[in-house]
Structures are given as structure tokens and as C-alpha cells.
Amino acid sequence: MTLDKLHALFLEHPNICTDSRKITKDCLFFALKGPNFNGNEFAQSALEKGAAYAIIDEEGHSVSDRCILVDDVLGTLQQLATHHRHFCKAKVISLTGSNGKTTTKELISAVLSKKYRTVSTHGNLNNHIGVPLTLLSIKKDTEIAIVEMGANHQGEIAFLSNIAQPDFGYITNFGKAHLEGFGGVEGVIKGKSELYNYLTSHDKHTFLNADDPIQAEKLSSYVKKIGYSTTDHQYYIISLVETNPHVVLEMEGTRCHTQLVGAYNFPNCCASILMGKYFNVPLGDIKDAIESYRPQNNRSQVIERNGLTIILDAYNANPTSMRAALDHFKTIKVSDKFLVLGDMFELGEDAAKEHQEMADYCHASGFEQVFLAGENFNQVRTSFKKFKTFDALKDFLAANPIQKGHVLIKGSRGMALERVLDHIGQLNPKS
């Protein structure tokens, strides 16, 4: 079946499913393969559950004329996504970066949705499967699509850029994330910059944080750039007013009081403001969109509970984002402060060094009540309390409850430190 014919079939059945356990009526089931599963084996089940067609790449699983045999299911999904992206006339904005991608994507979507019909990446489905699924969610009347792109090794952003073929792009920052896969900080910069490479080589527009020296240097001679800055008046000026604890910023003399904590969220807001201005969203609508946005999914959430103020930032962590969270926490003027920090993953041979440096930074920053959880933090040299497992941390908190003050919870996704909420700030903590 040609790509044109498959796309025509998709327009008749615009719901894509890649999990045979979540079949919806009249969907197209793409039988993807993984390390521990073979979607071809579930083609018949998918059809029986209501899928209109099953796209497979193993002839032996062609159980009916509703099975469409292709050379490679994943490659076909990606090609279909690119084809559909150009069939629809929506402008595509891609963004990547070490930290803040999802929050920035949601803020951009909130701002641009004030004027345009938009779609954006669902959650953090930002990989070689998620990006095609986002593109395939574009409707005929969609005007702007915001596509988040994640990566943990070099070459991945270049690959995703060739699938999405964006009209605009933005890199949030370059930090110490996925060092193991990228091969160090320089590898991170090189890998994330693949989005710039795509945009500049195709004469597309770039958005940039002009105060970031890496971004400024890489785009110094590029003409099609739109930037923001706190001081450089050749770009759109946005000022950070305060972070106590929420970010307050000012644009064109207008104050914007956000629901986001930490100066590290200031650039995320700025990116959405910049894009709103570029796409002619009224300033009042930009302000309303940002002030109405509330973080979810364990990202910089502020929770008030029984005398405690909890900053839950446990969606993910790396040395750059954790230090930024600590820097913000230092600025909060209260007496009782507690840190609950979990291991930072995917640091490779730098893991021991980075965890030791983070513990040392907590000492140097004057924090006294610090709880470190995870195998890496358990090996650092420190006077802070260390726990090899979450259960050990939980048992300690049950016996020594935190009853008042401010608590910062930060760790990598695999630590799932949001579980700490069941053991602090409760009238009757769970054991």
C-alpha cells in the first residue's frame, strides 16, 4: 500500500493505537515491536476488539484483509506522520532542551490557544513514537502544533527534526542531563543543537533566550531569529520581578503573577510570551494564559498541608535542575527548611562525582535538615541522613514526622519521590 493510500485510510480512521490493550473502535492499530513484545502477535486481537485495520510487518500474522503488510511498522508510522504534517497546513513549533521542556510546551500551548486552534504533545510523549503520534493528532483546521522532542543520545534530535520538519524551534537550555548517553556536557550541547542545525539549514525561524551565552553564540550570525532578554534591547525585553515563592515578571510595563515557583521557570514563561508576541496574541491574553497556568504531574507544585508548605518537583532531576531548585529554595525566608532529595539517573561515570558535589552544595548552601535517598546518594560522604531505599526513608519519616516548615522534594522519575507525600504533613502518617 502506498503512503498516499495509507494516509487516505488514516483520514477515514484518524485514531491511532499502538497498544492492543487500549483499542478504540475503528482505530488503526500499528503493531510496533519492542525489546519484550511483538505487536504483530496482537493484530488479530486488535481487530477483534474493534480496530478497523492492523498495520503489520510480519506476513505470518496477516489474519484477514484488514491487515496491511508494510516493510517496517515504526518507519511507516513515522513516514505517515511527516506526510500528514504537510497535508495539514499547521505551523509546527518544535522544542527541546535539558530542562523545562514540558512546562514550556504547556505554557506555549496556553498562550497560543488564546488566538489559534492548537495541538501539542500529550504529556511527555516526545520520542520516536510520541513525536509521530503528536503530528498525527493535527486536524485539518489546526493552525499551530507544538511538538516536544526529547533525547538521551546524539543524533536523536536530528532524527526527530526530520520527522516533524518544524517551521520554528526553541531550545530551553543545555544542562547536565542524560550525560551517560550524550557523553558529557559538550555532547549534550551538540545533541540538543541538532534542532538549530535543522532550522538554520532549512532557512526556518529560531526562537532563543538571548541571555543564554551558548544560544547567543550559536545563532550569532543567523538572521531568522526571534529572541527575548532581560537587558539586550535588540530583543524583546522581559524582566524578572521576584520569586517569593512564585515567579512575578514584567512585560511592556504589565506585571504577570504566575503560579510557578523558582527563577528556573522564568525562561519557560519568557519563551511562551515571546511566541505569543510573534504570533500577535494580545498582551492581555498572554498575561491571562500564564497567570491561569498551574503546574501538575509533580512539576514545581506547591502544596499546603497541615502547617507544611511542600514544593513537589519530583517529576525528574539532573545536576542542573536540582541545583536550580536548591538555589530557589535558599531564597525562601523561613526558618524551618527540609530537603528530600533522590538519586539523579543516567549520569554514567559521572554519577558518584555529581552526587557528591550535590551533597557538598547542600552543605555550602547552609541547609541542615537534608534527607538523601537512593543508592548513589547513599554512598556520598556527608553528615546528612542517607537512605539506600525509599522504604528506609519512609520508615524514618514515619518515626520522625516533619510537622511544620517548608519541604523541597526533588529526584529523578525512577525514584518516584511523590510517594513521600503519603508520609509527611499528614495527621496520621501512613506506615
- Looking at per-residue pLDDT, the higher value among 302 and 165 belongs to 165
Nearest residue to 344 via CA among 252, 417, 269, 397: 417
Extents of the domains making up the chain:
3-72, 88-292, 301-423
Residue 51 backbone zone (phi > 0: left; psi -120 to 50: alpha; other: beta): beta
Q: What is the pLDDT of residues 261-280, one digit of tens each?
A: 989 999 999 999 999 999 99
* 246-251 contact pairs (CB < 8 A, 24+): 246/302, 251/283, 251/286, 251/287
| Amino acid found at 15 | N
| Amino acid found at 295 | P
| pLDDT for res 427 | 43
Q: Report strand pairing: 33-34 vs 37-38.
A: antiparallel
Per-chain mean pLDDT for the chain = 93
Beta carbons of 30 and 17 less than 8 angstroms apart? yes
Nearest residue to 174 via CA among 98, 229, 227: 98
Beta carbons of 68 and 55 less than 8 angstroms apart? yes
3-state SS class at 245? coil
Model confidence at 368: pLDDT above 90: yes
To 5 degrees, how large is the angle CA 73–CA 75–CA 78?
Answer: 110
* Cα 157 to Cα 128, 316, 367, 371, 414, distances in angstroms: 9, 20, 38, 36, 23
pTM summary value: 0.87
Domain at 88-292, CATH from 2.60.40.10, 3.40.1190.10, 3.20.20.110, 3.40.50.300:
3.40.1190.10
Q: What is the DSSP string of 47-115?
A: HHTT-SEEEES-GGG--STTEEE-S-HHHHHHHHHHHHHHHS--EEEEEE-SS-HHHHHHHHHHHHTTT
Q: How far apart are CA 38 and CA 115, in angstroms?
A: 43
Q: What is the pLDDT of residues 224-261, one digit of tens each?
A: 999 999 999 999 999 999 988 899 999 999 999 999 99
Cis peptide before 132 (omega within 30 of 0): no
Q: What is the pLDDT of residues 326-348, one digit of tens each?
A: 999 998 888 899 999 999 998 98
Query: What CATH architecture does domain 3-72 belong to?
Result: 3-Layer(aba) Sandwich (3.40)
Model confidence at 430: pLDDT above 70: no
| pLDDT for res 426 | 58
| pLDDT for res 83 | 98
Q: How far apart are CA 416 and CA 376, in angstroms?
A: 15
| pLDDT for res 364 | 96
For residue 301 the three cell numbers come to 507544585
Q: How far apart are CA 62 and CA 9, in angstroms?
A: 18
Q: Which residues contact 35 (CB under 8 A, 6 or more apart)?
A: none
Q: What is the pLDDT of residues 144-165, one digit of tens each?
A: 999 999 988 899 999 999 999 9
Q: What is the pLDDT of residues 21-49, one digit of tens each?
A: 999 999 999 999 988 899 999 999 999 99
Q: What is the pLDDT of residues 177-192, one digit of tens each?
A: 777 777 888 888 999 9
Q: What is the pLDDT of residues 51-71, one digit of tens each?
A: 999 999 999 999 889 999 999
For residue 63 the three cell numbers come to 489474519
Q: How far apart are CA 57 and CA 176, in angstroms?
A: 39
Q: Which residues contact 223 (CB under 8 A, 6 or more apart)?
A: none
pLDDT-based confidence at residue 307 (cuts at 50, 70, 90): confident
Q: Which residues contact 77 (CB under 8 A, 6 or more apart)?
A: 16, 18, 30, 32, 55, 129, 132
- Looking at per-residue pLDDT, the higher value among 226 and 426 belongs to 226
Beta carbons of 356 and 372 less than 8 angstroms apart? no
pLDDT cut 90: percent of the chain above it: 80
Query: What CATH architecture does domain 301-423 belong to?
Result: Alpha-Beta Complex (3.90)
Nearest residue to 208 via CA among 131, 130, 267, 286: 267
Q: What is the pLDDT of residues 71-127, one digit of tens each?
A: 999 999 999 999 999 999 999 999 999 888 999 999 999 999 999 999 999 987 999
Element (DSSP H or E) covering residue 209:
strand 205-209
